Homo-oligomer: A and B are copies of this chain.
Amino acid sequence: MATLTKNEIKITTCETSKINSIDFSNLAFGQVFSDHMLTCDFKDGKWQSPEIVPYGPLTLEPSAKIFHYGQSIFEGMKAYKDANDNVFLFRPMDNIKRLNISAKRLAIPELPEAYFMEGLKALLDLDKDWIPTAEGSSLYIRPFIFASGEGFHASPANAYKFIIATAPSGAYFSGKVKVLIEEKYSRSANGGVGFAKAGGNYAGQFYPTQLAKDKGYQQVIWTDDTSHEYIEEAGAMNVFVRINDTLLTSPVSDRILDGITRKSILELAEAEGIKTEVRKVKVSELVEAAKNGSLKEMFGAGTAAVISPISGFGFRGEDFEIPEQDNSFGLQLKERIVAIQTNKTEDPYGWRMKV
């Protein structure tokens, strides 16, 4: 794999920064974009040198395969700034490794890790002022790769674009969500691409999610496509269930994303003395626990929201509420993880990376 240091990256800066036009006190999630982006082309059989250029439009042929065959993958990350203006990433090597796991499954050429990491460092150096500091906010980082090569033939492209764009962002979700346990539509197949952060995994969720919204829910709990007996993910997040004082989550599989927040939560819970079990969780078990009062919490876990608390679920026309907890594991673990991410506490795990 190619090597590179951030100082070797060619930088073309924008003529005027648009930072003063942004209301940092009122940021939505992923709606405004920083001044620059990293771009890197795959062509002639290899990844070319990454460059930093002003954030701006891409030009593609109508026959570019991204428009036709869904050959695209992405990652989600965040950068945080502490009180001393130090910039931090959270477990970035895990994103890089997962991007390449996704790349392999989608027949996209794997990216040299240094191109990603050094490119990102150089980009954050340049757009450091774009990292918001208000509670709950962060610079959302979106690395993605898509097929730019041409042709109306369903086969892998011969050219790709890797881009890192960044967006100063407020919190992803606000408030608790009510979820619907989905028994008809599915997110992923056995032997499919559900474990990858492939674009197509998300588009397929929009319609069932809209149907759930029409019924008064905000999200869908995906179940396995074979039996619909087991819960697998919550919207585009991993899902956790607390029954009495045990925190449960499904094992990762070829259908379930190996979430970085998910595995961080499992480790932190352990350290906090919270009992965890990684095992398949039956819908029937959830319903039973809701009925007998042992279902204490449910939450989604992912980079964007960190933890997204669930207030209740619908199943076969019946609604089950989850009562508010005084000692919420979700809140406790979210505080722990955010404190580590934002350099407000020790990081015994080596997860935080100073840029």
A interface list, Cβ under 8 A from B = 29-31, 33, 37, 55-63, 66-72, 74, 76, 104-107, 140, 142, 144, 146-147, 150-156, 163, 165, 167, 169, 172, 182, 184-193, 198-207, 209-210, 225-226, 235-236
Check if B152 sits within 8 Å of A142, measured CB to CB: yes
14 A-B pairs with CB atoms under 8 Å apart are A30-B153, A31-B153, A55-B62, A63-B165, A66-B199, A67-B72, A67-B163, A69-B206, A70-B70, A70-B72, A71-B203, A106-B206, A107-B206, A186-B190
Q: Could you tell me if B30 and A210 are in contact, using CB atoms closer than 8 angstroms?
A: no
**With the chains together, A150 CA to B32 CA distance in Å?**
10
Complex Cα spacing A71 to B202, Å: 8
Across the interface, name the chain B residue whose C-beta is closest to A76: B152
Residue from B58, B70, B74, B172 in contact with A199 in the complex, judged by beta carbons closer than 8 Å: B70
Q: Are B203 and A107 in contact (CB under 8 A)?
A: yes
Say yes or no: B30 contacts A202, CB within 8 Å: no
| Chain B hits for A191, CB < 8 A | 182, 184-186, 225
* CB-defined contacts of A203 to chain B, threshold 8 Å: 69-72, 106-107, 147, 193, 198-200
A200-B30 CB under 8 A given contacts A188-B189, A226-B190: no
Which of B68, B165, B192 interacts with A72 by CB under 8 Å? Answer: B68
Give the 4 A-B residue pairs with the shortest CB-CB distance, closest first.
Answer: A200-B200, A30-B152, A70-B199, A107-B206
- Known interface pairs A192-B185, A200-B200, A200-B201. Does A29 touch B153 (Cβ–Cβ under 8 Å)? yes
| Least distance between A70 CB and chain B CB atoms (Å) | 3
Q: Is the CB of B199 within 8 A of A204?
A: no
Contacts of A199 in B (CB 8 A): 66-71, 199-200, 203
Interface pair B156/A206, CB less than 8 Å apart:
yes
Q: Which residues of B contact A188 (CB under 8 A)?
A: 189, 192
Q: Which of B55, B70, B154 contacts A200 (CB 8 A)?
A: B70
| Chain B contacts for A185, CB-based, 8 A | 191-192
Q: How far is the CB of A195 from chain B (nearest CB, A)?
A: 11
Bound CA–CA A236/B152 (angstroms):
13
A58 and B69 contact, Cβ closer than 8 Å, known pairs A152-B142, A152-B167: no
A147: chain B residues within 8 A (beta carbon): 203
A154–B60 alpha-carbon span in the complex (Å): 23
